[in-house]
Amino acid sequence: MIKNFLGNFTFGLTLSPDDSQVAIYTYSGLTTGYTTLATGNNIAAVQAAIANIRFDGTSDRNLFQALTREESEVSPQSGWRSNYKHVLIVTSADANAFFAYNFDQLPYAAQWAFNFGCPGVQQSTLTPTTTPAPTQDPSVPCQLSTLNYDVYMIVDTSAQIQAADFSALKQALVGFVNPFPIGDGKTQGYVLDTINQLLQDGSNGQSLKLSLQAIQGAYLNQRYPTANKLIVYFTGNTNWDQDPNQLMNQLKANFTVSSVAVQWTSSADVNQLSNLVGGSNCVNQVMRDAERMSNGVFMTNQSKAYYHRGSGQLTDMGIRQAIGLGRELRAQLQQAGLTGNGSVPLLSEEMHPSQAYFQSFIFERNLMTLGAMGNAIFNTIDGVNIPVPIVTAQMANDYVGRSYLL
């Protein structure tokens, strides 16, 4: 299976003297070289070398010897090119860079290596900012700095989250971590640097069960004495490759682990998250139909400042998004020739109530969204947007905004 994985992995590369090259070494009691960079620059040679890899059948793994040989043999004479990016991939039975508990998970390791090894993917060195660290909001009933928790954060890095939302998610993770003291020889800077280096992998799903297996194998099985263990799952989708519910329940039963989920975008199904973590009370819906604050407690003053309009209300970004939607709709109507001053086929830019009808739920956030979007569609008077009339109805009588089963 390992040879199949190597074959599939290298088959996905463009191999040539001007593109990618592959040098292959194996290690057990002894180190064996199968290709150099110069000989591993065509797919036929690389596939033949992989087919010839021998299984030594020993329990020895002299990785240091393999790395030493690789360092001594890789040179300009053997195909080293100084102006190319160089990636070292080590496959091991006990490495902890990428967990693959079953052979069917090896394609994910290949995807991981592609994304973290390809030029242009790695982030540039981050310049430290002078933004003050978030502090705990006084409304939080317990003192976060005194809590003794093992917190396991699982973060969705799939392409289901838009780039801007992913950037906001990383900032939220920083705000989540900051109030907690960090122990076991680590510092907050270590954890925050790790968060800042998170990258999206381009896939549309996620291997949540594999992440839970990694947490169990590397940490929970060690039976650390910390009494409180918490899994926090931040996600923008629930497109799991395998059902994680049974394993999550086993971890709760065997290791007294608690779990919560954060729905970062509406692509994550709330019902599935509720089933996963044990109920809707353990699911925090951060972003649903708009950029707004869900119902809940502010953990930090930074969060309180960002969601300054209060629980359930739009953020400044949410209002900007609504305005942007109105401007986009205006542009589309103009392009189709359906708007203009005076008498027009469909819609006047001067806002004639006889031509446009706006109806909304009675919730403030819905009214603000529709008002901001509607204002951006039409012209201004003396630099001020023309207000749009919005019709509302009580929930029981709202036959437009609500769906009914007859």
- Mean pLDDT computed over every residue of the chain: 77
Burial 189-202 (b: 16+ CB within 10 A, else e): eebbeebeeeebbe
Using the structure block, give the residue that is written with the tokens 């799939």.
158
pLDDT bin (cut points 50, 70, 90) of residue 299 is low
Name residue 263's amino acid: Q
Structure-model confidence comparison of residues 100 and 24, the more confident one: 24
User: In this predicted structure, what is the pLDDT of residue 252?
Assistant: 93
Mean pLDDT across the stretch 209-234?
A: 89
Nearest-angstrom CA–CA distance, 236 and 263: 6
| Tens digit of each residue's pLDDT (9 = 90 or more) over 157-197 | 988 888 878 888 888 888 788 767 776 655 566 788 788 88
277: pLDDT strictly greater than 90 = yes
Q: Please check whether residue 359 is in contact with residue 388, taking contact to mean a CB–CB distance below 8 angstroms.
A: no
pLDDT bin (cut points 50, 70, 90) of residue 110 is low
Nearest-angstrom CA–CA distance, 19 and 58: 36
Structure-model confidence comparison of residues 382 and 142, the more confident one: 382
Neighbouring C-beta atoms of residue 153, cutoff 10 Å: 18
Mean pLDDT across the stretch 299-308?
A: 61
User: In this predicted structure, what is the pLDDT of residue 303?
Assistant: 59
Contacts of residue 347, defined as CB under 8 A and 6 or more positions apart, other chains included, come to 333, 338, 339, 355, 356, 377
Nearest-angstrom CA–CA distance, 235 and 151: 16
* Of the listed ranges 96-105, 208-217, 335-344, the one predicted with least confidence: 96-105
311: pLDDT strictly greater than 70 = no
Which one-letter DSSP state was computed for residue 113? H
Nearest-angstrom CA–CA distance, 87 and 150: 33
406: pLDDT strictly greater than 50 = no
Distance (Å) of CA 208 to CA 153, 215, 263:
11, 11, 14
123: pLDDT strictly greater than 60 = no
Structure-model confidence comparison of residues 331 and 208, the more confident one: 208
Nearest-angstrom CA–CA distance, 171 and 178: 11
374: pLDDT strictly greater than 60 = yes
The three-state secondary structure class of 50 is helix
* Of the listed ranges 142-151, 203-212, 366-375, the one predicted with least confidence: 142-151
User: In this predicted structure, what is the pLDDT of residue 127?
Assistant: 45
Nearest-angstrom CA–CA distance, 148 and 181: 9
Nearest-angstrom CA–CA distance, 255 and 229: 8
Distance (Å) of CA 26 to CA 97, 293, 373, 398:
18, 53, 61, 69
Using the structure block, give the residue that is written with the tokens 């381009």.
202
The three-state secondary structure class of 20 is strand
Measured over the CA atoms of residue 397, residue 399, residue 400 and residue 402, the dihedral's sign is positive
- As to burial, measured by CB atoms within 10 angstroms (0-12 exposed, 13-18 middle, 19+ buried), residue 240 is middle
Per DSSP, what are the bridge partners of residue 259? 231
Neighbouring C-beta atoms of residue 17, cutoff 10 Å: 11
Q: Widest CA span of the chain, in angstroms?
A: 86
Contacts of residue 117, defined as CB under 8 A and 6 or more positions apart, other chains included, come to 85, 87, 89
Mean pLDDT across the stretch 109-121?
A: 55
| Tens digit of each residue's pLDDT (9 = 90 or more) over 16-71 | 888 889 999 988 878 888 999 999 888 889 888 888 888 877 777 777 788 888 88
| Tens digit of each residue's pLDDT (9 = 90 or more) over 322-336 | 888 888 888 887 777
Mean pLDDT across the stretch 295-319?
A: 66
User: In sequence order, what E strands does 24-157 have?
Assistant: 24-27, 31-35, 149-155
Domains in the chain with CATH codes = 2-117 (3.40.50.410), 144-288 (3.40.50.410), 316-397 (no CATH)
User: In this predicted structure, what is the pLDDT of residue 115?
Assistant: 59
Q: Please check whether residue 179 is in contact with residue 143, taking contact to mean a CB–CB distance below 8 angstroms.
A: no
* Of the listed ranges 53-67, 71-85, 306-320, the one predicted with least confidence: 306-320
Mean pLDDT across the stretch 361-371?
A: 84
